[in-house]
Amino acid sequence: MKPLIREAKPEDKPFIEEIAKLTWEGEDYLARVFENWLKDGNFYVLELEGKVIGTAKLTILPDKVGWLEGLRVHPNYQKRGFGRVLHNFMLQRGEELAEKGIITTLEFSTYFLNKESITMAKKDGFKIVERFYYIKRALGDGEHPRPSKIHSLDELDYKDYIPYGWKFLHKCKESLKWLNKKAEIREYSGFKFSYAPMYENEPTFTPFRLSAESIETLLPAMSFEAEKIGYDSIDIMLPEDKQDLIEPLKELGFKNWTNFKEPDVLVFRMEL
């Protein structure tokens, strides 16, 4: 029987939960965001003989970006070309949305050792446009921050991309409005940070000011928010051009998967 790609349905959740439990040592966020992705749309599953064995999602981000995420294949069905089938379908879906004027680019992020996805993307014309260090440290004593808003793009020390979990938004006015609507934004001791709600993405924290002083000052507030949502660490996406912060952040207890040898999160883009 040929595999079928269709829109996800509520009754697919048990299959999605099974895939999530078998991905990233059970830490995959797929099951947690399932209902939100259903509501948002452009959420697809690959079905084989009545069983959902793969998923893929296209999220419309500011500046007419089609963000690709959630491409998964059940471990029992990997190495059989199903990932390529899903990837090709999402490229086709992107072209359809581009023809309607809804998006102008396809983008995604991935871990730098995800060689299969990277090779596949480069063959299709995707190019690396940004790199980040994924850094994390244990929680400390928490202090309650207050809710806040972003009033200007000048508040954010990011050149082209603003981290939002494992999504990365173009630094533009539309993203400012989008973040004020969707993100959890907090202020503490004169500094601000944001993070994505758990039902949307991984809750990495985005300090607005990228300095050792800002991040150190915000540690109690980020610890408070992380503990509140049941997260056990403070995770931050540090842009590649902020390498001068690596040693100060190490002193603050931050660690990195590669011991900061190179950026380990890659952002890809393809113009449509």
- Tell me what the mean pLDDT of segment 191-199 comes to: 94
How are beta strands 167-170 and 65-73 bridged, if at all?
Answer: unpaired
Q: Say which range, 2-6, 200-204, 233-237, 253-257, has the weakest mean pLDDT.
A: 200-204
| Token duo for residue 45 | 């599953």
In this model, does residue 126 exceed pLDDT 80?
yes
Q: What does 61-108 look like in DSSP terms, one character per residue?
A: ETTTEEEEEEEEE-GGGTTSSHHHHHHHHHHHHHHHHHHTTS-SEEEE
Q: Residue 200: pLDDT band by 50, 70, 90 thresholds?
A: confident
Rounded to an integer, what distance in angstroms lies between the CA atom of residue 87 and that of residue 81?
10
When pLDDT is cut at 50, 70 and 90, the band that residue 262 belongs to is: very high
236 three-state secondary structure = strand
Q: Which two structure tokens, joined as six digits, stand for 140?
A: 């400390």
According to DSSP, residue 239 is labeled E
Q: 245 pLDDT exceeds 80?
A: yes
The three-state secondary structure class of 54 is strand
How confident is the prediction for the chain on average, in pLDDT?
Answer: 95
Q: How many angstroms separate the CA atoms of 52 and 12, rounded?
A: 7
Q: Is the pLDDT of residue 23 over 90?
A: no
Work out the average pLDDT over 196-207. 90
Distance CA 259, CA 242 (A): 15
Tokens (6 digits) for 67: 């963000």
pLDDT the model gives residue 179:
97
The pLDDT tens digits for 57-67 are 999 999 999 99
Q: Could you give the CA distance from residue 21 to residue 250 in angstroms, rounded to a whole number?
A: 32
* Three-state secondary-structure class, residue 237: strand
Whether the pLDDT of residue 24 is over 90: the answer is no
Taking only the tens place, the pLDDT of each residue in 88-119 is 999 999 999 999 999 999 999 999 998 888 99
Count how many Cα atoms sit within 13 Å of the Cα of residue 243 in the half-sphere of its side chain.
Answer: 8
Instruction: Answer yes or no: is pLDDT of 1 > 80.
Output: no
Neighbours of 209 (CB within 10 A): 16
- Highest mean predicted confidence (pLDDT) among 29-33, 71-75, 214-218: 214-218
Q: What is the CATH number of domain 4-103?
A: 3.40.630.30
> Domain limits of the chain?
4-103, 131-265
Which of 199, 169, 166, 168 is closest to 184 using CA atoms? 199
Extract the tokens encoding 43: 């959420």
